[in-house]
Amino acid sequence: MILVPIFVWAIYKTKPSLWIFGGAGITTAGLLVMGFTPGMEFNFGDFLSFIMAIFYALQVLAAGFGARRVEPYRLVALHIIMLAAVMTIIACIFEPLPDIGAFSPKIWGTLLCVSLGNTILCFIIQFKAQRITPESHVAVIFSLEGLFGYMVAVLSGQDPFHLQGAIGGILVIAGMMLTEAETFLKNKRLSG
């Protein structure tokens, strides 16, 4: 998440505040603490994760740019069409074609739920919010995804609770609070 304020600075030539850099840095540290395993070594998967983080940061920037210029529903439609086209090409290259006729109603229901709820609805909310929310704040808010994923995994019994995960989660929340403190203090000064 620290990449977004760096990219905002590099692309828009607007230096984010120390509050933003501090919050994004603490949030990134929290995510690293949550994902760190003793004895782990940097491997090709980690390299791919870093590349994904760069593209994720660029997507947040592009979404903010587009959301302030294009009506969110049109932007979502464009996003979904482009993603479907690109991912279909990639899937045809790297994956065998599935037998769609063999899909059960449960699979179709799952696909519909994921498509509508986890993709389209989330993009609509993101693009509407990004009309009024700075990209650096959005990146820090998005970092809560890792924390909520960890909490759901622990609460559902899929993963054991670790103090390391809790400490990382506390850092993520602290980073988000630090980032939002600047806005809170500005609003308090304006109203008081």
pLDDT in tens, 108-134: 999 888 888 878 888 899 899 999 988
Which whole number is the average pLDDT over 160-184?
Answer: 91
pLDDT, position 192: 66
* pLDDT at residue 4 tops 70: yes
Least confidently predicted of 28-32, 87-91, 182-186: 182-186
Token pair for 144: 């809560």
* pLDDT at residue 41 tops 90: no
Which whole number is the average pLDDT over 17-35?
Answer: 90
Q: How far apart are CA 42 and CA 122, in angstroms?
A: 32
pTM of the model: 0.78
How sure is the predictor about 7, in pLDDT bands with cuts at 50, 70 and 90?
very high
Of 118 and 149, which is predicted with more confidence? 149
* DSSP codes of every residue in the chain: -THHHHHHHHHH--PPPHHHHHHHHHHHHHHHHHH--TT----HHHHHHHHHHHHHHHHHHHHHHHHTTS-HHHHHHHHHHHHHHHHHHHHHHHSPPP-GGG--HHHHHHHHHIIIIIIIIHHHHHHHHHTTS-HHHHHHHHTHHHHHHHHHHHHTTSS---HHHHHHHHHHHHHHHHHHHHHHHHHHHHH-
* pLDDT at residue 38 tops 80: no
Choose among 143, 108, 113: nearest CA to 28: 143
pLDDT, position 154: 92
